[in-house]
Amino acid sequence: MSVKLNWGTGIALVYAAFAAATTGFVTFAMSRSVDLVSDDYYAQALRQNERMQAERNTQALQPGPSVARSGPSAIVLSLPAAHAATASGTITWYRPSDSGADRVDTLALDTGGRQQVSTAALARGRWLLQVRWAAGGRNYYFEEPVILP
């Protein structure tokens, strides 16, 4: 007995294969995790002008902020000493590859404008250190990529 395929059967087989492939891809895509840069990215976009002004304020500082390694599991963040007494803000450890690993610390400068921040609990790899602070009625923003060995 021989099976004879006509053009109608061929069209039905192609359509069934296409539908199966589409269903398989949709199932695969839905099972992948989606890490957004931020849960409130729209609200952050609305505040973009404020951030740009804070960056300009930071660029005008002399000396500007800096980050230096302090041993194998710490860094030292330095801000202008004039801001040490009045600065309040946050230090955000942003992990581009895993939004669940992000960490926020409170800015607590010593009298010289420095703060030692432990990196012991952070995973190895690339991080973006984002520092936001207010001092003297102005907002400031600084970010620096940090590679943890």
Report the CATH number at residue 113. 2.60.40.10
- Residue 85 domain-assigned? yes
| Residue 74 is assigned to a structural domain of this protein | yes
pLDDT band at 16 (very low <50, low <70, confident <90, very high): very high
Question: Residue 81 is part of which domain span?
Answer: 48-148
82: in domain:
yes
| C-alpha separations of 40 from 18, 29, 56, 75 in Å | 37, 23, 24, 28
Grade residue 1 by pLDDT with cuts at 50, 70 and 90: low
In 3D, which of 126, 68, 76, 78 has the Cα closest to residue 102?
Answer: 126
User: What pLDDT is stored for residue 9 in this prediction?
Assistant: 87
Q: If you average pLDDT over residues 11-37, what whole number do you get?
A: 90
Distance between CA atoms of 22 and 93, rounded to whole angstroms? 39
- Span 30-82, pLDDT tens digits: 998 776 666 677 887 888 899 999 999 999 988 889 999 888 889 999 998 88
**Does residue 87 belong to any structural domain of this protein?**
yes
Q: What percent of the chain has pLDDT over 70?
A: 95
Give the pLDDT confidence score for residue 38 in this predicted structure: 67
Q: What's this model's pTM, rounded to 2 decimal places?
A: 0.72
List C-alpha distances in Å: 4 to 51, 87, 106.
70, 82, 75
Q: What is the percentage of the chain residues whose pLDDT exceeds 90?
A: 47
The count of domains in the chain is: 1
Residues 6+ apart with CB under 8 A from 113: 78, 79, 80, 81, 82, 83, 84, 87
Rounded CA-CA distance 93/131 in Å is 9
Is 106:91 a contact under the CB 8 Å cutoff? yes
Q: How confident is the model at residue 84 (pLDDT cuts 50, 70, 90)?
A: confident
| Closest to 66 (Cα-Cα) out of 147, 148, 149, 143 | 143
Q: Does the residue 114 lie in any domain?
A: yes
